[in-house]
């Protein structure tokens, strides 16, 4: 369901706005962490969530709310794209926190859990395909349209998932923040050259707030070491 909403959001938002808006998953993950795992957030993390929401609001205000048509004739509705991204962020936050809860409560490996989740996602994806493109699938076959670009996207998505796992395993929150921030910047630059995206002051300010929130949320203040009471002078 999350992937379906992400595709819907990507089809109604430009790449830069989509990339920034999807960072709202940090907020939903934090909320579900407090509710499900009963963890307490630091003051800096709460401040980062406020900055995140403010940045996303600025990015949304920078968009033209009137429906627009892209090169292939598809009409884009920014409200639909935002609501789809919001739904995906809620599902992402809940799924991530609940997945962590399940992993820490059992001896089953993360790879086996991934296989189980993938198998469960297949029927949902098939239902979505037949609901939206049943006529084309029945007439031309399921793999109609699988050209080189589609295969490239499949490989890109799979490789990206493995890279995220490596980042989580071997890198810290600061490096992860750098990677996410760099992805936002690359999306903005690419959108300017590929899709004639117009960079406005509101969007720049909102994107900057989101990048700042990513770094602030991952920042962990170092605790000062103090001697035990009996050794203090």
How many domains are contained in the chain? 1
Rounded to whole angstroms, how far apart are CA atoms 171 and 163? 11
In a domain, 90, yes or no: yes
Percent of the chain scoring above 70 in pLDDT: 82
> Where does the pLDDT of residue 226 fall: very low under 50, low under 70, confident under 90, or very high at 90 and above?
very low
Mark 100-116 as b/e (b = at least 16 C-beta within 10 Å).
Answer: eeeeeeeeeeeeeeeee
- Dihedral over alpha carbons 165, 118, 99, 150 (to 10 degrees): 50
**Contact assessment for residue 1 and residue 91, using Cβ atoms and an 8 Å cutoff:** yes
In a domain, 93, yes or no: yes
Alpha helices in 141-233 (DSSP H): 148-170, 173-194, 201-218
In a domain, 114, yes or no: no
Rounded to whole angstroms, how far apart are CA atoms 59 and 201? 10
Both ends of the chain: CA-CA distance in Å? 61
Domain limits for position 180: 2-109+147-221
> Where does the pLDDT of residue 231 fall: very low under 50, low under 70, confident under 90, or very high at 90 and above?
very low
Separation of CA 120 from chain center: 21
In a domain, 120, yes or no: no
Rounded to whole angstroms, how far apart are CA atoms 168 and 180? 12
pTM score, two decimals? 0.68
Which 8-state DSSP code applies to residue 75? E
- Residue 17 has a pLDDT of 84
In a domain, 155, yes or no: yes
Nearest to 33 by CA among 46, 19, 20: 46
More confident residue, 66 or 57: 57
In a domain, 131, yes or no: no
Q: Does 173 score more than 60 pLDDT? A: no
In a domain, 217, yes or no: yes
- Residue 39 has a pLDDT of 85
| For range 172-179, the mean pLDDT | 64
- Residue 86 has a pLDDT of 92
DSSP string, 81-100: HHHHHHHHHHHHHHHHHHHH
Rounded to whole angstroms, how far apart are CA atoms 178 and 21? 17
Q: Does 134 score more than 90 pLDDT? A: no
Structure tokens at 81: 């794209």
**Contact assessment for residue 47 and residue 110, using Cβ atoms and an 8 Å cutoff:** no
Q: Does 70 score more than 70 pLDDT? A: no
In a domain, 231, yes or no: no
């Amino acid at each position: 369901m999350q992937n379906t909403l992400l595709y819907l959001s990507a089809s109604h938002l430009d790449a830069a706005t989509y990339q920034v808006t999807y960072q709202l998953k940090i907020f939903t993950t934090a909320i579900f962490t407090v509710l499900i795992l009963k963890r307490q957030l630091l003051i800096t993390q709460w401040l980062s969530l406020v900055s995140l929401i403010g940045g996303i609001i600025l990015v949304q205000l920078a968009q033209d709310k009137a429906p627009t048509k892209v090169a292939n004739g598809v009409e884009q509705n920014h409200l639909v794209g935002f609501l789809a991204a919001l739904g995906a962020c809620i599902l992402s936050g809940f799924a991530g926190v609940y997945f962590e809860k399940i992993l820490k409560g059992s001896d089953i490996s993360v790879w086996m859990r991934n296989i189980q989740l993938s198998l469960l996602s297949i029927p949902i994806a098939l239902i979505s395909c037949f609901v939206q493109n049943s006529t084309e699938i029945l007439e031309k076959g399921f793999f109609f349209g699988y050209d080189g670009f589609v295969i490239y996207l499949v490989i890109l998505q799979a490789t990206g998932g493995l890279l995220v796992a490596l980042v989580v395993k071997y890198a810290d929150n600061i490096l992860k923040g750098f990677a996410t921030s760099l992805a936002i910047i690359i999306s903005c630059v690419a959108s300017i050259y590929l899709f004639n995206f117009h960079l406005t002051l509101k969007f720049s300010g909102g994107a900057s707030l989101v990048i700042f929130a990513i770094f602030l949320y991952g920042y962990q203040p170092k605790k000062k070491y103090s001697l035990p009471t009996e050794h203090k002078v």
